[in-house]
Amino acid sequence: MQSLNLPSIPCWLQQVHGTTVLEASPGEASLDHESYPKADASYTHKPQIVCAVLTADCLPILLCNKQGTSVAAVHAGWRGLAAGVIEETLKKFTVSPDEILAWLGPAIGPQVFEVGPEVREQFMQMNAEAHLAFRPSPNPNRWLANIYFLAKQRLLKQGVNAIYGGENCTYSDTKQFYSYRREGEKTGRMASLIWLEHPSIERSKRLITVRKMTNLSRESIEQKYDLSASTLQAWETPKQGGLTQKGAKRIVEILEKEGIQCSTDWLLDGIGIGPQVIGADKSDSESALVSEILTFRTHNLDATDMVVKDDGMEPFYCIGDYVGGKQRQGDAIPTAIGKNCIVETSEGETLLRYLRSGSKPHHYTLLCLNAETTLTHSVLSDVELRSAAPVIWHRKKE
């Protein structure tokens, strides 16, 4: 766990396939499972409190609101799912359901999740449409259940529309996942974790992003603009609360001189449109965009940019948007894992995707974030890449 660099010990639960939801608090470094609180979901509105669930075929669900002020982790086995653990967890959020994002983690897939008729009946008693999640098994008087579909039905019924994930099978993928049905009691467990970072941490990330857009080191900024490199480092680390209001105004002034437009609201709180390279001619949007792209390339070594050409990353990146990043190649590609990236495959195809590690060395998984994408393949597994460039510049289509 130390290698994960978590902000606190996770709030481990003694999961009992029920509907109890508790407010998370920092856990204890104890291996005694019986000492954990009995519940199947936890939530928090406080930063640096880690909500956690353990699974090995059951469905882990991670929830957050779009404002980034509340998170929750849910253990959704079929019993808890049927009993309403999702609905009970959503009650802990103070925003409307359409402001909530849901991620469905790895669970047993619909090709192998065999259940009895009583399971199907229990779901159908709650929702007649649940029959769509079941199909007859080759074995008599048995059904194959789609736990992902059942969870999506419950979420959609409650008004949660932004649903992601749900493409893995813990039973079938022996290389990546543990499976209770495949291995029995001896199997391990996967941990799904979610927490809110301290506001100063998010501020430091935004500050690092805009400084990288200028292609200036802290020392270069000190020499050019008389802003102490040690002060800038303290803001970026962050130390003593991170970037201040006064500091944000100073950074905005520097960015403007470097040809980058940014607001203090975005630097401090992530509110509004992110940083943009200032175009030369605002009266001509096309020429301004060309100028903006050229300025981005000038300010960033190994720069790459593209026009978004599919709906795989909506609503974050839409068709016609422009994005840019700095290419990472070879052994540096793994440092881009967990980020939205412009990737170039070994076949020369350029895509905008969320980057994850693959099951083989030097291979990667490319994910769409749009659960409703029109693309045939929302997940590309074990792809060889020439380069990956985390997005640091984004210009929305006008």
Residue 212: per-residue pLDDT:
83
pLDDT in tens, 268-308: 877 666 787 775 444 445 555 566 666 666 666 678 888 89
Cα–Cα separations (whole angstroms), residue 371 to 76, 104, 161, 367, 379: 19, 11, 9, 10, 11
Residue 7: per-residue pLDDT:
83
- Please tell us whether the domain made up of 2-194 is placed in CATH 3.40.50.2000: no
Three-state DSSP at 167 gives coil
Higher pLDDT, 391 or 56: 56
Residue 279: per-residue pLDDT:
55
From CA 204, how far away is CA 261, in angstroms rounded? 18
Residue 296: per-residue pLDDT:
66
Higher pLDDT, 30 or 232: 232
Residue 290: per-residue pLDDT:
61
From CA 341, how far away is CA 263, in angstroms rounded? 24
Residue 3: per-residue pLDDT:
59
Residue 70 pLDDT exceeds 70: yes
List the chain domain ranges.
2-194, 198-278, 300-398
The end-to-end CA distance of the chain, in Å, is 45
Mean pLDDT of 71-89: 97
pLDDT in tens, 134-178: 999 999 999 999 999 999 999 999 999 989 988 899 999 999 999
Domains 2-194 and 198-278 share a fold: no
Mean pLDDT of 184-213: 87
Q: Decide if 358 contacts 381 (C-beta within 8 A).
A: yes
The CATH number given to 300-398 is 2.10.109.10
From CA 373, how far away is CA 313, in angstroms rounded? 8
Q: Decide if 32 contacts 53 (C-beta within 8 A).
A: no
pTM of the full predicted structure?
0.60
Which contiguous run of DSSP H or E holds residue 88? helix 85-90
pLDDT in tens, 100-144: 999 999 999 999 999 999 999 999 998 999 999 999 999 999 999
Q: Decide if 114 contacts 171 (C-beta within 8 A).
A: no
From CA 351, how far away is CA 342, in angstroms rounded? 6
Q: Decide if 370 contacts 312 (C-beta within 8 A).
A: yes
Q: Read out DSSP for 100-148? A: EEEEE-----TTT-EE-HHHHHHHHHH-GGGGGGEEE-SSTT-EEE-HH
* CA angle in degrees (0–180, nearest 5) for 3-104-181: 85
State how beta strands 41-44 and 21-23 pair: parallel
Residues 6+ apart with CB under 8 A from 395: 276, 289, 292, 321, 322, 323
From CA 220, how far away is CA 299, in angstroms rounded? 14
Which of 10, 64, 70 shows the shortest CA–CA distance to 46? 70
Residue 282: per-residue pLDDT:
43
Share of the chain above pLDDT 90, in %: 53
Higher pLDDT, 71 or 295: 71
Residue 395: per-residue pLDDT:
81
The answer to which of 31-35, 158-162, 163-167, 226-230 has the lowest mean pLDDT is: 31-35
From CA 229, how far away is CA 277, in angstroms rounded? 23
Q: What is the mean pLDDT of the chain?
A: 88
Residue 281: per-residue pLDDT:
44
- Please tell us whether the domain made up of 198-278 is placed in CATH 1.10.260: yes
Cα–Cα separations (whole angstroms), residue 331 to 136, 326, 341, 366: 47, 15, 16, 18
Residue 136: per-residue pLDDT:
95
The answer to which of 52-56, 189-193, 359-363 has the lowest mean pLDDT is: 359-363
